[in-house]
Amino acid sequence: MTRVGNPVGRRQFVGGVAALAGSAMLTGCGMGGGGGGGGDNKSMTFLNDAALKGTPFQSVVDAFQKESGIKVTVQPVPAEYDTKFRTVLASGAPPDLVKINDDYVKGVSASGALLDLRELIEKEKVDTSKFEQNLYNFPKQKDGSHTAWVIGHSPRLIFYNPEMFKAAGLPLPPTTWSAENWTWDDFQETAKKLTIPGKQYGALVYLDTGFEQTFSINNGSPDGIYSKDGTKFTLADPKGAEAVQWATDLTCKAKVQPAWGDIQGDNADLQMFAQGRLAMMFAQFSVVPYLEQAVKGMTWDVAPPPAGPAGQLTESSVVTYSIPKKAKNPEAAFKLLAYLTSKEGGELFAKGKQWLPMHQDALSALAGPPQHIELFKEAVSHSTLPNQTLDTLGARQIYRPALEKVYNCESQASDVLGSVKAQVEKIIKG
């Protein structure tokens, strides 16, 4: 998933969860509770994928330090973060808190390197009833262990340029979560009317990888990318492949979406939208601050994803952090996690629009632009999350490069996904 926490760059996970698992075994990490301990719990270290200075995150950390008296030392790693993450997690002296890619929680948990948070949750008396339970339970493992903590989430919607709709004589998209005149067919026809060859494109869907889960589920796939038990690559099944092909054919057949090769530069989609060369794009909440700064001289708004044949759900990227099992100050680290998901901490995140807070009462602090920002709140009750596997990273390294033949209009999604299905399923079974 893309852009959570760092809206102006895309993350790449370098290395492998399998390598992490091997390193963890060599350092003696095992499953179960109890952190490394031995610290003073008056200070803590925090490995993050971006610097916090000047962000809402820094404001929350500052407020926590003032209230708790615990000193937080942030170790930002803005380049090749996941390589560093894998290295420090396998070491004998990891930071007390680490950012973890939401898609890799299950695989890294299986390595035994992450602390089970259940005892700390009980000790801190965290009122989890205020959290959206689907998101709160996301990091829970099959054995009941809670190996990561969700501090926020970033739902995906359709961002659009109302002025282009008006210029084309088109009605605006729905302002509530509605499928009325907003189906896949409606969306494609609207995109055709918004496209002006050589000047602007009507839509961009397939660049944000969240479309894989969202559109396959809305096309009738019961599981999305992976089966519930994480052992089958269900994106390769007919409903999943059809969804990938539909999104790709916006380029290959309808000619309303930019060619794949033209949008591989960093933030190409956001730049096109900000420059008035793109009418609609599928993107997540975390791009809002970027657009507020970059979009000049035009308005922009959001709408729900178009309804597929089977539904109108969307996917959130989930912001997750873990405490390594060998952390010296696990209690201090969890106190910070608890504060990040408190009403006070959540309000700071909402005001800064970094991501949607976990605490439901904090959502009242969210305000526009865009005008219909409330749709992001509605997205919580219209969400789907990908099922986890033991090696989602390994799976992606196989099927996403293969899909470039589809996106470049060279092959059909059913053929490409079918050709790698067995290989992917071997990987995700660990």
pLDDT value at residue 253: 98
State the chain's maximal CA–CA distance in angstroms.
Answer: 67
Alpha carbon 169 to its chain centroid, in Å, reads: 34
Contact of 356 with 380, CB cutoff 8 Å: yes
CB under 8 A, 24+ apart: contacts of 176-183: 176/304, 176/375, 176/378, 177/304, 177/312, 177/375, 177/378, 177/379, 177/382, 178/304, 179/306, 179/307, 179/312, 182/303, 182/304, 182/306, 182/307, 183/306, 183/307, 183/308
pLDDT in tens, the chain (430 residues): 444 444 333 333 333 434 343 333 323 333 334 456 667 789 999 999 999 999 999 999 999 999 999 999 999 999 999 899 989 998 989 999 999 999 889 999 999 999 999 999 999 999 999 999 999 999 999 999 999 999 999 999 999 999 999 999 999 999 999 999 999 999 999 999 999 999 999 999 999 999 999 999 999 999 999 999 999 999 999 999 999 999 999 999 999 999 999 999 989 999 999 999 999 999 999 999 999 999 988 899 999 999 999 999 999 999 999 999 999 999 999 999 999 999 999 999 999 999 999 999 999 999 999 999 999 999 999 999 999 999 998 999 999 999 999 999 999 999 999 999 999 999 999 8
Q: How far apart, in whole angstroms, are the C-alpha atoms of residue 144 and residue 128?
A: 16
pLDDT value at residue 36: 60
What totals of helices (H) and strands (E) does the chain contain, helices first? 17, 9
pLDDT value at residue 72: 98
Q: Which residues contact 315 (CB under 8 A, 6 or more apart)?
A: 1, 155, 156, 210, 213, 214, 383, 384, 385, 386
Phi, psi of 131 (to 5 degrees): -100, 150
**71 pairs with which residues across the strands?**
43
Helix (H, G, I), strand (E, B) or coil at 97: strand
